[in-house]
Structure 1
Amino acid sequence: MTGNRIQDTTVDAERAALLQMLEEMRGNIRYTVRNLTDAQAGERTTVSELCLGGVIKHLARGERDWIRFILDGDPHIDYSDPEVVAGHLASFRMEEGETLADLLAEYQEVAEETERIVNGLPNLEVSQKLPSAPWFPEDTAWTARDVLLHIIAETAQHAGHSDIIRETLDGQKTMG
């Protein structure tokens, strides 16, 4: 086996492990919303903006944006723009006409896009400079690996939120 083949195998194994973990976290989200009506998926059960359909919508949007960041870099978003802030807040809610089935279908499309893009990368060292935002250190770059770890962490965090919302909604639990 050549040195490059060993490296390729290591990269492939890491890539597969990260994608598998992300899919497991997505599976927790999908399991949490099983057997819900659109009305239940849109119901806020806490003081936050979150509802179960909104969590899925937010995760799909965030994952798509981050995966595109790997390819295209900084999208040059003005985070002080009130419309940007309003759009972000709207991503946590189900809007009129949105259905849980449609949000889940979009989430699946994003998952497939993520897998296709990540598997097409030469390696996980591909990097982009992070956007200028108050929550990122200046002049910092993230690799594709960093982005995937961020998406996994976000998905896991929102899976926990989803558990709380679902249990408050009708007593069902994802685990336990």
Structure 2
Amino acid sequence: MSRLTIRETGIEGLRIVQRQRLGDERGFLSRLFCAEELASAGWHKPVAQINHTWTQARGTVRGMHFQHPPHAEMKLVSCLRGAVWDVGLDLRAGSPTFLQWRAAELSADNGQALLIPEGFAHGFQALTDDCELLYLHTTPYTAQAEDGLLAADPMLAINWPLPIALQSERDLQHSRLTPDFVGLDLNS
């Protein structure tokens, strides 16, 4: 019996995963991950790393982060507390949706997750105070492969739902895109 419903976003590989909750007067059970069910959505590698974040203040933006190939990673992002506006941005060279983004509201209440394929940048904005996210990654973090884009870059045109209240110094140091950026070659 399937406990995960996978919906398309209009960008190949970027999907919203809706979890079915089985509940009664005690509470509920929700399947966070199932390799067998997510295989149809492109998840074919083992989980290599699991990360947990806490974001204190509403309006905070984290991102837009990615890893360069061959360390590109697929992520499954879930919100365990609060609510966030979660963004996936297509950086795949030659993609028909290159530099397009989609967002989904993930919350502790709605049971949704965002499945972000390799070759995407990821970021989110906290819609409430005290947000906790759980990330499952197919590739471990590699410092030499780490990179990011400026979340407020006009070339990305991400419509953050709230004014950006706080970002890390690291995220503020990311470069703006230039017209000669051709994307990430996932075959390299």
Q: TM-score, normalised by structure 1?
A: 0.26
Greater RCO, 1 or 2 (C-alpha within 8 Å, sep 6+): 1
Question: Greater CA radius of gyration, 1 or 2?
Answer: 1
Q: Which has the higher strand share?
A: 2
Q: Which has the higher helix share?
A: 1
